[in-house]
Amino acid sequence: MHNATAETLHTAGTCNATLSTEPPGSQFSLGVLVLLAFLMVLLALITILGNVLVILAFIMDRNLRHRSNYFFLNLAISDFAVGAFCMPLYIPYSLTGKWHLGRGVCKLWLIMDYLLCTASVFNIVLISYDRFLSVTKAVSYRAQQAIRSNPGIKMVAIWVFAFLLYCPAILFWEHVAGCSVVAADQCYAEFFNNWYFLLCASTLEFFVPLLSVTYFNVHIFYNIQRRQRRGSVQLKSEPPRSGSLSWRFCFLPRPGSSSPPSEAEDSVSSSTRPKKESLVTESLSPFRGNSVTPENDLSFSFCARARSKLQQDKKIAKSLAIIVCAFAICWAPYTLLMIIRGACQGKCIHNSLYEITFWLLWINSSLNPFLYPLCHVKFRMAFMKILCPKKFATLRSDSF
């Protein structure tokens, strides 16, 4: 997960490390170096503050302590550590091309860098899988929530798998090989140019997660389209019936409205919903034969839930589409160049290009607190409560 300015050779049990490229900092003027340093520090601050906001939202708002939302917390913790630990230590190394903190700190930095970035990816997969179950297997998903299954087990498993993927190799590679290929003033993993290891690890870290998230997203869209088509067919084939609410009515817009309910309506507290539903029920009396019966009430309640669930699932589908695109854009260039660089021993990829893709990978940790939690009304309301308490109080009073 890092840059190396030294090209390495490993032949017949002898390890040689020779500098064949200039340090990145020597390629730029002082003004450019200052600009780059400013941008790097700014990115680190955005990563830290954005993920701190997510963590504070969990601490201050009990409504967010939902089983599936804990996966967002796990993601925010890993991304926060990237901005607070990995980026600050890497900035001087990136600008000067030399590591000045010693081998011990280098090993610690490598372990944290690989661990945190991998955990971030695995958390994205876990979030996508949870959203996938909530849409395509709603009944079993709700049943699982009812028994209060502990999300902590999955959260811990993420960190264990992330550690096992790279960290043992970081710790023991040079001992198994019998020598080190890393120069004293450099900091990168011993397997940096081992094409076979990088290909296998990248498959588990990037390609499998990307395919998994894409699979979840495609099936969610397919599930939504199938439900919409089913409703459209019933809307055409099923004639209206007096005395009971037809299934086709579930897919008609609400009276006086040409669009689905807005997110503001979704964020209204449950105490105000019965009033709104009763008003809508009264306006539907021509379809109900001007009579209120238990059967009609149950039918209307079912349709209201079906419409609300469909709109909620559409929002989930859109948020997962953003996840797929952002994850692919940020991770694909680095992963591909890392494999190519390892295959050609660093001779076919310019160091500046590799450096850009490396920072692009870290940008994903900066985007996560804005891409994922902000796709949900509860998170937006919690953020508003923290950042703009007066506006939040006004909005909440207006809702009542």
pLDDT per position as a tens digit, 75-119: 999 999 999 999 999 999 988 888 989 899 999 999 999 999 999
Residue bearing the bigger pLDDT, 280 or 320: 320
Residues 327/210, Cβ–Cβ less than 8 Å = yes
Whole-angstrom Cα distance, residue 1 to residue 192?
A: 9
Average pLDDT score over residue span 361-372: 86
Residue 85's Cβ-count burial label (10 Å; 0-12, 13-18, 19+) is: middle
Q: Which residue has the tokens 């990816």?
A: 121
CB atoms within 10 A of CB 237: 8
Who wins on pLDDT, 256 or 77?
Answer: 77
d(C-alpha 320, C-alpha 343), whole Å: 33
Residue 212: which H helix or E strand, with range?
helix 208-237
Average pLDDT over residues 270-298: 45
Give the per-residue pLDDT at 382: 80
Q: For residue 392, name the pLDDT band (cuts at 50, 70, 90).
A: low
Higher pLDDT, 115 or 150: 115
- Cα(1)–Cα(55) distance, integer angstroms: 25
Higher pLDDT: 391 or 202? It is 202
pLDDT band, residue 240 (cuts 50/70/90) = very low
User: Span 187-196, mean pLDDT?
Assistant: 86
Residue 301 has pLDDT above 90, yes or no: no
More confident residue, 315 or 26: 315
Tokens of 328: 């692919």
Query: How many other CB atoms are found less than 10 A from the CB of residue 354?
Result: 18
Decide the pairing of beta strands 6-11 and 14-19. Answer: antiparallel
Q: In whole numbers, what is the pLDDT of the chain averaged over residues? A: 74
CATH code for the part of the protein at 6-225+307-399: 1.20.1070.10
Residue 211 has pLDDT above 70, yes or no: yes
The answer, yes or no, to whether residue 227 has pLDDT greater than 90, is no
Most confident region among 7-11, 273-277, 336-340 by mean pLDDT? 336-340
| pLDDT of 266 above 60 | no
Phi, psi of 15 (to 5 degrees): -110, 125
| pLDDT (0 to 100) of residue 399 | 58
Whole-number percent of the chain with pLDDT over 70: 65
pLDDT at residue 230 tops 80:
no
Is residue 222 predicted with pLDDT exceeding 90? no
Residue given tokens 């710790």 in the structure block: 171
Structure tokens at 239: 């004639």
Q: C-alpha dihedral over 219, 225, 229, 235, to 10 degrees?
A: 130
Q: Are 136 and 225 in contact (CB under 8 A)?
A: no
CA distances from residue 331 to 137, 211, 215, 313, 364 in whole angstroms, order as listed: 30, 13, 18, 27, 8
Element spanning 7, H or E: strand 6-11
Mean pLDDT of 389-395: 70
Report the pLDDT value the prediction gives residue 308, as an integer from 0 to 100.
67
Provide the token pair at 23.
């340090």
**Burial letters for 149-160: b for 16+ Cβ neighbours within 10 Å, e otherwise?**
eebeebbeebbe
Identify any residues that bridge with 7 across adjacent strands, giving them in sequence order: 18
* pLDDT recorded at residue 111: 95
The predicted pLDDT at position 52 comes to 93
pTM for the full predicted model:
0.74
Asked if pLDDT for residue 48 goes beyond 90, the answer is: yes
Write down the pLDDT at residue 347: 73
SS3 185: coil
pLDDT tier, 320 (very low <50, low <70, confident <90, very high otherwise): confident
User: Contacts from 109-112 at CB under 8 Å and sequence distance 24+?
Assistant: 109/85, 109/187, 110/1, 110/2, 110/170, 110/187, 110/188, 110/189, 111/167, 111/170, 111/171, 112/81, 112/85, 112/86
Is the model's pLDDT at 210 over the cut of 80? yes
The mean pLDDT of 15-28, rounded to a whole number, is: 49
Residue 219 CA to its chain's centroid (Å): 18
Q: Which long-range contacts (CB under 8 A, 24 or more apart) does 234-239 make?
A: none
Across residues 266-288, what is the average pLDDT?
42
Does residue 279 have a pLDDT over 70? no
Please check the confidence at residue 275 and state whether its pLDDT lies above 70.
no
What does the alpha-carbon distance between residue 17 and residue 8 come to, in Å, rounded to a whole number?
A: 5
pLDDT more than 90, % of the chain: 23
Q: Where are the domains of the chain?
A: 6-225+307-399
Token pair 């700014």 in the structure block, residue? 42
pLDDT at 107: 93
C-alpha to C-alpha distance for 394 and 400, rounded to whole angstroms: 10
